[in-house]
Amino acid sequence: MRRKNTIIILFALVLTLLIPGMETEAKTKPKLAANKKTMTVGQTYKLKLKGVSAKAKVKWKTSKKSVVSIAKKKGNTVTLKAKKKGTAVVTATYKKKQYKCKITVKAKKKEKATADNPTLNSKDVTLYYLSETYKDYIKYDKSHMREFRFRVSGTKKEVRDWKITREGADYFSITDYGLLQMDWEPAYACPCVTATVTAILEDGRKLTAAVRAYSELNIYIDTVFTDFEKQYITPSMTEKEKAEKAAWYISTTSDYELYNNNSLLMVNFI
């Protein structure tokens, strides 16, 4: 009896060796890697039927090609592509048995359009010219700007060119990166000069800013004259008396020489 049982067991072992895949197929049943899947329009996804050979003859089908299409098939694996928003069922058929996966396709999130609203960092700039010659002799406001860097924001477009126009353009210069500077000071007779700075973008659009300039020396001279008038000039004085008082004041407060007609040199020593 024992010998008969032994023969049956040996026979069963031989059968498992002679029939390839018999043992593994008995242990692992075919199933899809996913029964549900969410995709975004344009996205691809590889869906695999597990538990079968990579070269197994699996038939793949999609219920809505307009929603999910089959981009590539290879044995037990298929590459799906999401086409538009909606749902579709992808079916794998193997040995007359079907395995289904529900695909939900979502629309792409709309990217926020980049705002294109170019602006200059200032539309009204005032500069003050100060010569090194008078820097140690006159009083001036140290907070006054000598130069200003223009910048464009709100666009990805580059500045193609910077220009200065209008009457006072010759008093200014501007670099190719938007740095505005003064080349010389306005005359005392015309204490303020104005001009227009234009930034020309690579697409042809133009941004403008008003610029004006003053001379620190002219401002100082005005201060000196104002202080002198307040202290020494009265409404009752004649023109001659005013001139005499001015001559006295100049002679006592400066190294101004007789017959020197350069008032700026006079102020230099006040």
What CATH architecture is 119-218?
A: Sandwich (2.60)
Radius of gyration, CA atoms only, the chain = 45
Q: Quick one: CA dihedral 37, 42, 44, 47, positive or negative? A: positive
CATH of domain 27-106: 2.60.40.1080
Specify the pairing of strand 147-149 against strand 179-182: antiparallel
Under 8 Å between Cβ of 37 and 45: yes
Residue 59, classified by CB atoms within 10 Å of its CB into exposed (0-12), middle (13-18) or buried (19+), is exposed
Residue 112, token pair as written in the block: 């926020």
Residues of the chain with CATH 2.60.40.60: 119-218
CA atoms within 13 A on the CB side of 176: 2
DSSP-assigned letter for residue 157: P
Under 8 Å between Cβ of 180 and 148: yes
End-to-end CA distance of the chain: 137
Give the pLDDT score at 269.
41
Distances (CA, A) of 50 to 25, 47, 102: 11, 9, 17
Residue 253, token pair as written in the block: 């407060």
Under 8 Å between Cβ of 196 and 111: no
- Rounded to an integer, what distance in angstroms lies between the CA atom of residue 91 and that of residue 62? 6
Give the pLDDT score at 115.
80
Residues of the chain with CATH 2.60.40.1080: 27-106
DSSP-assigned letter for residue 111: P
This prediction's pTM: 0.54
The helix, strand and coil proportions of the chain, stated in percent and rounded to the nearest 5, come to: 25, 35, 40
Residue 49 pairs with which residues in a beta bridge? Answer: 32
Write down how long the chain is.
Answer: 270
Per-residue pLDDT of the chain (270 residues; tens, 9 = 90+): 555 555 455 445 444 544 554 444 445 789 999 999 999 999 999 999 999 998 899 999 999 999 999 999 988 999 999 999 999 999 999 998 999 999 999 998 887 767 899 999 999 999 999 998 888 888 899 999 999 999 999 999 999 999 999 888 999 999 999 999 999 999 988 899 999 999 999 999 999 999 999 999 999 988 988 998 999 999 999 998 888 888 888 777 766 555 555 554 444 444
Give the pLDDT score at 112.
74
